[in-house]
Amino acid sequence: MVDLEKLTQAVGELDEEKVLAILKEFVGTNPSGEEANKVVNACQQGMAIVGDLFEKGEYFVGDLIFAGELLTAAIDTLKPVLGGESNTKIGKIVLGTVEGDLHDIGKNIFASMAEAAGFEVYDLGIDVPAGKFVEKIKEIKPQILGMSGVLTLALDAMKNTVDALQAAGLRDELKIIIGGNPVTEDACKQIGADAFTTNAAEGVKICQGWVM
Ligand code: B12
């Protein structure tokens, strides 16, 4: 198993070479899904360090951009051990990062894990307005809507989306899960979602519980 603290630190320091070397070695050990989840969490914690250093003025927007590219490459390296696409389909999830928010790394991790667990995932991408969620839900009729957001303002966009679904008469047929750094139990209640998480693997478990 990899040294998780070393990995978190390397992500925080934006040491691409070290991060990718650690991950390639890890993937070569044929790890379990549980071990892979721990490694994803360690990377997520490294991104929190990047965020803190940005807030302190030690990192700049260019560093955030680089951090985004670094983590995307890290997740691509980990993909083979996060599980492939499952042949048995267990349900449909419409997913997107809400309006005003361009962060998609966490959403993409959740999408990969949900697909591996057997969900058909309809990913609408980033900066998705409420109306686009409503349209897709009318078309696909999924059991679950997943909304992602890491900016504080994403919480308002999530609430607007739930309100739009309510107005369209679609809310009651759906389970709604929200994910991303700022989501909390209080926010979940205010938004009118059914569940919240800051951990993609936990999110998949919640969704499985809804359809199985
Ligand atoms: C990388 C990054 C960027 C990259 C994003 C690249 C990309 N492709 O996503 C770029 C450069 C684009 C960026 C831009 C900006 N960013 Co930025 N960014 C980050 C950073 C460092 C990491 C985010 C990340 O990828 N985390 C790692 C992932 C894995 O974690 P996660 O998203 O939480 O996802 C996990 C779970 O939450 C969950 N999950 C996520 N979504 C979902 C959905 C569902 C349904 C489920 C079940 C689970 C789930 O699963 C994931 C795995 O477990 C954060 C710092 C931080 N602490 O998060 C700042 C941060 C989010 N950014 C911030 C800011 C300020 C900005 C900018 C405004 C900067 C600027 N001045 O331009 C812009 C805003 C652009 C916009 N409109 O969105 C602030 C937000 C402050 C706030 N409170 O709103 C942060 C917190 C940094 C900070 N501390 O100041 N950023």
Same domain, 110 and 156: yes
pLDDT value for 82:
85
Q: Count of CB atoms within 10 A of residue 76's CB?
A: 13
Distance 60 CA to ligand 1 centre (A): 14
Same domain, 67 and 109: no
Which residue's entry shows tokens 């390639």?
A: 24
**Residue ID of nearest Cα to ligand 1 atom 19:** 64
Same domain, 109 and 202: yes
Interval 52-77: pLDDT, tens: 999 999 999 999 999 999 999 999 99
pLDDT value for 33:
87
Q: 46: domain range?
A: 4-82
Backbone φ/ψ region at 57: left (φ over 0), alpha (ψ -120 to 50), beta: left
pLDDT value for 87:
78
Give the residue ranges of the chain where pLDDT is below 70: 84-85
pLDDT value for 83:
75
pLDDT value for 128:
98
State how many domains the chain has: 2
Domain finish residue from 50, 82, 114: 82
- The one-letter amino acid code at 54 reads F
- Helix ranges, the chain (H): 4-12, 16-28, 33-55, 61-82, 105-116, 130-140, 154-167, 185-191, 200-211
Same domain, 14 and 96: no
Is residue 68 within 6 Å of ligand 1 at its C-beta? yes
Report the atom number in ligand 1 closest to the C-alpha of 151: 84
Same domain, 74 and 99: no
Same domain, 150 and 74: no
Which three-class secondary structure state does DSSP give residue 194? coil
